[in-house]
């Protein structure tokens, strides 16, 4: 028997998701069919909802605002000259939860194990540099490298620090509250808050 076309199409798309292979994608398709129409409708709605999510053109954080900027970039009460570079949105959310950081962010994207910047990351740095040049002072007061304290994070942090040195008064890293090899995303609020306060 041939796989029905709609199932094949679904499986082809879902197999592209991180952590899902072709076999699992096929299983998900079959599962959804067996769950019945109510479930497939709900699945459709959930996927359609993602279309309203936009990526901030300044920091690459996700948002649902009318404009092109996320809430943080659009908020004039945030300190403009302080920028934290985080790997992913979940790190940004963890830092926001501590309430200890009042600057803005750059969501840098997954770090390559080889310790090199992707072309997308290079573009993001250029965009940040352009943005910094337009500040009244023409320089950021502080750039906080809030990348995970592991060997890859350390290498990427040095590369980024080197790139951004001409654009910042000072470049700091999160304080050593987070254990080496640990992840910002999973640090408890108090530890991360402490690491933010003690950045150096
Ligand atoms: Zn933003």
Q: What is the Å distance from ligand 1's center to 49 Cα?
A: 20
Q: What is the Å distance from ligand 1's center to 75 Cα?
A: 9
Sign of CA dihedral 151, 197, 144, 142: negative
Q: What is the Å distance from ligand 1's center to 1 Cα?
A: 50
| Cβ(98)–Cβ(192) below 8 Å | yes
- Render each residue's pLDDT in the chain as its tens digit; 200 residues: 788 999 999 999 999 998 899 999 999 999 999 999 999 999 999 999 999 999 999 999 999 999 999 999 999 999 989 999 999 999 999 999 999 999 999 999 999 888 899 999 999 999 999 999 999 999 999 999 999 888 899 999 999 999 999 999 999 988 666 666 778 888 888 888 888 887 87
Structural domains in the chain, CATH included, are: 5-52 (1.10.8), 55-197 (3.40.1360.10)
Q: What is the Å distance from ligand 1's center to 21 Cα?
A: 33
Q: How far apart are CA 32 and CA 7, in angstroms?
A: 10
Contact residues for 48 (Cβ-Cβ < 8 A; gap 6+): none
Q: What is the Å distance from ligand 1's center to 52 Cα?
A: 16
Contact residues for 12 (Cβ-Cβ < 8 A; gap 6+): 25
| pTM, to two decimals | 0.76
* Of residues 84, 79, 81, the one with CA closest to residue 192: 84
Q: What is the Å distance from ligand 1's center to 55 Cα?
A: 8
Pairing of strands 104-107, 82-86: parallel
Can you list the alpha helix ranges (DSSP code H) found in 105-165?
A: 119-133, 151-164
């Amino acid at each position: 028997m041939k796989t029905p076309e709609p199932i094949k199409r679904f499986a082809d798309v879902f197999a592209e998701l991180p952590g899902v292979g072709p076999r699992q994608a096929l299983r998900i398709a079959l599962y959804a069919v067996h769950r019945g129409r109510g479930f497939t409708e709900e699945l459709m709605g959930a996927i359609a909802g993602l279309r309203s999510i936009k990526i901030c053109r300044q920091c690459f954080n996700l948002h649902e605002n009318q404009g092109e900027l996320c809430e943080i970039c659009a908020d004039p009460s945030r300190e403009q000259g302080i920028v934290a570079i985080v790997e992913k949105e979940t790190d940004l959310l963890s830092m926001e939860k501590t309430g200890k950081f009042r600057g803005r962010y750059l969501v840098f994207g997954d770090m390559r194990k080889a310790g090199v910047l992707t072309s997308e990351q290079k573009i993001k740095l250029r965009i940040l540099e352009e943005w910094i040049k337009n500040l009244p002072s023409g320089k950021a007061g502080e750039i906080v490298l809030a990348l995970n304290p592991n060997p890859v994070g350390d290498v990427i942090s040095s590369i980024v620090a080197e790139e951004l040195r001409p654009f910042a008064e000072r470049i700091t890293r999160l304080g050593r509250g987070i254990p080496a090899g640990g992840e910002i995303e999973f640090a408890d609020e108090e530890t991360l808050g402490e690491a933010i306060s003690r950045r150096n």
